[in-house]
Structures are given as structure tokens and as C-alpha cells.
Amino acid sequence: MKLARVEPLVFNVSAKTNWFFIRVTSENGLTGVGEASLNGFETAQLAYARDFCATLIGRPVADLVPQLRVYAHSPGGLIASSIVSAVEQAVTDLRAKDAGLPVHMLLGQARRKSVPVYANINRGARDRTPAGIAQAARNAVNAGFGGVKIAPFDGVWFGDADSTARDAKTTLGIDRIYAIREAVGPEIKIMVDCHWRFNEASTLDIMRRLTDAHLYWLECPISENPDHYAALAHIHNQTAAAGLQLAGAERQIATTGFAPFIKDKLLDIVMPDVKYAGGYDEMLKIATLCEQHGVAFSPHNPTGPICNLASMHLCMVAPAFLILEHQLAESPLYFDVVGGYKPRLVDGCFELPDTPGIGATLDDEVLAMHPYQALAAGANLDPRLG
């Protein structure tokens, strides 16, 4: 079975979001899908996909996966890695369909019957007042989620010269978190994503101010570049003393990119993303490394429905798995763009389909109705972050 076609498909979801899918088709007409969403970089991804995918046409599908590797040192960075990772997902979906197996059965022995998930409410919470954020959290809990995540520190950057405005935005973020805790009660897990907005001193300060919020984890408080590893280690020591977990590393590439965070215990929880870290094969290697070093594995998954299904299949077989992120309520297009299985929440978990492949296909009519749209400046993260 040879590969006949590779299609990059960019789908506009909202004024803040495009999703980027890859679909592969074999000579016998079978298709597979993967996701590469990297908001704001779609034109660069399309350029890379055009050249990279052309090298795959006509090659035997069975030979492709070992060639679809990503490298932490690659000059292409997340742009190249996202395309390679999505093609690896799509080829794995295609191979699973050809074998008549769900993707997770192709990957290995299932370790669990369903996948525990928490709700990322950030993009769905358009009312950014503490009351509006609290209502979004309440809605998630009412829908059956046992945990919610918010990125509450809009507009904060530790290096901002206007310290008065920065401090006011930080305080507003803290108010949002306490509003969530009041709304959902003491038993619901609250995860806080800082998107690398702080330095060591300001991280320790917000930890102190959030003591009574009883967070489940604090995520990405500072830059995760190597020159910040010592500061991250100190923050990790402080979170451990406070009974708080430290999570992060969503932008790392390949097992080698994750190794310092796992082997040196810089984090309690690593959050690799199947869209960037290398697809299924590399994600399982990262999960195995986590198991060997006593670090939890909790995939990053705040984007589209193909990434969600891919992550679910992965989590069924991954060791050291803790809980999966799920993008909640950004757009009804989340469900419209896919045909096939739509995950149903039961007791805080998603169950997987037993149909061959990933369990879903892309709806071409819906894709055509919502083509790529350039996003406004400021629609996504500040380029100084990371």
C-alpha cells in the first residue's frame, strides 16, 4: 500500500483560532488524519508541508513511520515538527484502518478502559470578569468534568516596564482563580496555566497569594529554556514544600527535548503534545521515560477534535498517564467538522470507539465553509512569552 496524496487543511474556528489538519490517502482509497494546529503560524506550516509532503508520495505506507521523526535541535522548530507529527498521526490512522484496528490497539496493549479528562475553559470563557470565568467553570463541572483549567493572567509579562498595570492584571488573574474555587467548591481540581508570564520571584509571590485556592497544579510559570532550569528547579522545590504540583513542557520536541524535565525532576507533570512532540511513537517514548523516573504524563490538548481523539488513543496505552486536557466550548465547529465518533463524558472520562483507525473523518463541506483566516495581531500569545 503506497501513499497517493497528502493534504494540508486549514480550518478557521474563531477570530482567535485556526485548526490545521493533515489528511493522507493511500492508492487504495483509505484515508488517515492528523492535527498540526499551531495558531498564528499557518502560512509557514503550509510552506513547509508543501515541500515535505511531496517527498512522501508514492512511498510504501509501512516504511513511513520510522522516517517520520522529529528532532529537538532541528532548525525548523515547532513549525516543522508540527507537520511531521501530524503526518505521523495520519499515517498511523491509515495503518490502523488497513489492519481493521482502533489506533490504540495498533499502538499496544490497553492499560485502561477509559481516559480521565479535565476541561480547559480558557477559550470558551469570553466573559473575562471573575464572575464570567466562574460561570464557565461551573458549566464545565455541571457537564461532568472533575477538573478545570484556566489561563487567568491576561496581558501579564514579568518584564513589562509598567509595573502598576502589570500588578493590576496579576491581581485580576488571582481574583479569577478564587472566583472559580468559590464557584466549584473544594473537591474540583483547578489547574492554572501561566503561559511563561512570570520570573522566579513573581512566581513565588503568586504561589503565596494562591495558597487558599488549593490548586491541583501550576503550569508553565516561567520560561523553560535551559538558562531557566536552575530557577525552575528552585520553584519546583517550593511547590513540593507547599503540596502543589508543577506542570509544563508543552512546547518541547522529541524525547530528548523532554529528558531534562523528566530525568532532573524539574517538573512533577510533563505535558507533551502529540501535534508537536513527534506523533504517537515519540509520545509513547516520552511516557515510558516518565514511568522510569516517577514523573506524571498528562498530554497537552487544547486544540481541535482530531488532536483530542489522537490523544485519547495514546492515553489508552501510555504508562505514567495522569489525566488528559480537553478544549471545552470554544466553538460548536469542534463537533461539526468531524464525522464519526464524538466522545461522550462518563464519570469524568472519555470512552474510545472500537472502530478501525482514529474513529473520525473530516467533513469536507464544513471545511470548505470555514477556510483559513489570518488572525488579528494580539489574537494569540505575546511573542515575548516562552
Domains of the chain: 3-101 (3.30.390.10), 105-358 (3.20.20.120)
What's the grid cell of residue 192? 492554572
**CB of 15 closer than 8 Å to CB of 375:** yes
Task: Provide the 3-class DSSP secondary structure of residue 325.
Answer: strand
Nearest to 49 by CA among 3, 8, 85: 8
Hey, what amino acid is at 380?
A: N
C-alpha dihedral over 97, 101, 104, 108, to 10 degrees?
-120
| 179 CB-near residues (< 8 Å, 6+ apart) | 130, 131, 133, 134
**CB of 148 closer than 8 Å to CB of 188:** yes
Task: Provide the 3-class DSSP secondary structure of residue 318.
Answer: coil
Q: Residue 50 has what pLDDT?
A: 96
**CB of 261 closer than 8 Å to CB of 252:** yes
Q: Residue 386 has what pLDDT?
A: 64
| 197 CB-near residues (< 8 Å, 6+ apart) | 153, 156, 157, 158, 221, 385
Report the distance separating Cα 53 and Cα 40, nearest Å.
21
Over its C-alpha atoms, the chain yields an Rg (Å, rounded) of 20
**CB of 156 closer than 8 Å to CB of 173:** yes
Q: Residue 382 has what pLDDT?
A: 82
Give the helix ranges, DSSP H, for 295-363: 305-317, 333-336
Write the DSSP string, 168-228: HHHHHHHHHHHHHHHHH-SSSEEEEE-TT---HHHHHHHHHHTGGG--SEEE--S--SGGG
**CB of 276 closer than 8 Å to CB of 74:** no
**CB of 327 closer than 8 Å to CB of 353:** no
Output DSSP code: residue 145. -
Hey, what amino acid is at 240?
A: A
Report the distance separating Cα 176 and Cα 132, nearest Å.
9
The tens place of each residue's pLDDT in the chain, 386 residues long, gives 999 999 999 999 999 999 999 999 999 999 999 999 999 999 999 999 999 999 999 999 999 988 899 999 999 999 999 999 999 999 999 999 999 999 999 999 999 999 999 999 999 999 999 999 999 999 999 999 999 999 999 999 999 989 999 999 999 999 999 999 999 999 999 999 999 999 999 999 999 999 999 999 999 999 999 999 999 999 999 999 999 999 999 999 999 999 999 999 999 999 999 999 999 999 999 999 999 999 999 999 999 999 999 999 999 999 999 999 999 999 999 999 999 888 999 999 999 888 999 999 999 999 999 999 999 887 887 888 86
Report the distance separating Cα 269 and Cα 197, nearest Å.
19
Task: Provide the 3-class DSSP secondary structure of residue 352.
Answer: coil
Output DSSP code: residue 359. S
**CB of 30 closer than 8 Å to CB of 61:** no
Nearest to 7 by CA among 38, 34, 43: 34
